[in-house]
Amino acid sequence: MSKEARLTRVLAFLREKGWKCTYNEEDGCGSIDFEYRGVPYHIWEFKEDGWGVETNLRHGGRQEEIFGDYETELLEILKGWGV
């Protein structure tokens, strides 16, 4: 199964909003890069004691790691931007 399937809802949200984004996959981990209001954002999957993502969605310039049902949490963050 492609890792893109793990990030399908996030990709669908970004595309629905018309935000230009790129999806890449390396070593079985997906990554999404996009820009919103001139600020670059990323979501990078990793596997280390389970699946997780590193992202700067919540804090712009600071990275955080999210584990568990990270796709749902990412969507909640994005929807919280009020767009």
Q: Which domain holds residue 47?
A: 3-68
Q: Provide the domain count of the chain.
A: 1
Q: For residue 14, tell me if it sits in a domain.
A: yes
Tokens 């004691």: give the residue: 49
User: Is position 74 within any domain?
Assistant: no
Question: Is residue 19 in a domain?
Answer: yes
Please report whether residue 9 resides in a domain.
yes
73 part of a folded domain: no
Residue 24 domain flag: yes
pLDDT tens digits, one per residue of 24-78: 988 888 999 999 988 999 999 999 889 999 999 998 889 999 999 999 999 999 9
- Under the banding of pLDDT at 50, 70 and 90, the label for residue 5 is low
Instruction: Give the per-residue pLDDT at 82.
Output: 75
pTM of the model: 0.86
Sort strands 64-67 and 51-55 into parallel, antiparallel or unpaired: antiparallel
Residue environment code for 69-80, b if the CB has 16+ CB neighbours within 10 A, otherwise e = ebbebbeeebee
> Is residue 82 in some structural domain?
no
